[in-house]
Amino acid sequence: MSIGLVIRLLVLALLVAFLVSPESFAFVFEPLTKNNQPVIYNQGSLLDLTLNHLLIVAIATALATTVAVGLAILVTRPFGAEFLPLSRSLANVGQTFPPVAVLALAVPMLGFGTAPTLVALFLYGLLPIFENTLTGLTGLPPTVTEAARGMGMTGRQRLVRVELPLALPVILAGIRLSTVISLATATIGSTVAARTLGEVIIAGLLSSNTAFVLQGGLIVGTLAVLIYDGLSAIERALTRRTGQGARANA
């Protein structure tokens, strides 16, 4: 077992221990409080907020992946090539509009809560997945696709059995980037009453309690690093398995 893996497992264990029993870590954050402020976030369960935060990110990323991969497949087929500029423009929408602006536009239609946050994260996560899928599907060695065609495979068979499996490491790199972006961006969902770790940070800012701000930031940051490393490991394993070089845009 490598030292890096041991460190990651230790960090994960510490994170879980903190979420399950945050009071046990009060001595770490106590120096950051003043005027008898509460040391540990006490307006809700950190564990529940973390799980809800992850659930929102997972749903948004799954939706973004479905749409972005579908669009990339469409525009790399002969019948859909003419839609490439339009698809790229749609994927760029989320990056063009700041998530806060998307929330402001979505709230009047969807109300407060999780829904506007999902819309913002979905739009913000489209571009990296779309571009990486496009790169993965268009960057395959011509000899591979020609060999598949020579074996009598239909277009659908080539896509499912050859193109997507070989492009998977690059696609996963886009999903990894999108997920990490969404983890951080989801915190702003608390401004429209979504239950995310942004609640902890906002509560700390409103009460000038640095301990709260640090707790929310550390949880989000740690989750981002662990998920990034985990997806990177899967991506490397797939790259070795398929024999493809790293072509990820991340």
pLDDT tens for residues 203-237?
999 999 999 999 999 999 999 999 999 999 888 88
Burial of 5 (0-12, 13-18, 19+ CB in 10 A): exposed
Domain range list for the chain: 47-242
Q: What is the pLDDT of residue 249?
A: 42
- What pLDDT band is residue 250 in, cutting at 50, 70 and 90? very low
Nearest CA among 50, 61, 51, 41 for reference residue 120: 61
Fold (topology level) of 47-242? MetI-like fold (1.10.3720)
Residue 10 to residue 247: CA distance in whole angstroms: 31
Q: Has residue 247 got a pLDDT over 50? A: no
- pLDDT tens per residue, range 13-59: 999 999 999 999 999 999 999 888 999 999 989 999 999 999 999 99
Q: What is the pLDDT of residue 242?
A: 65
Ordered DSSP codes for 158-198? HIIIIIHHHHHHHHHHHHHHHHHHHHHHGGGGGGGT--STH
The helix or strand, by DSSP H or E, that contains position 80, with its residue range, turns out to be none
- pLDDT tens per residue, range 113-164: 899 999 999 999 999 999 999 999 888 888 887 888 888 888 788 888 888 9
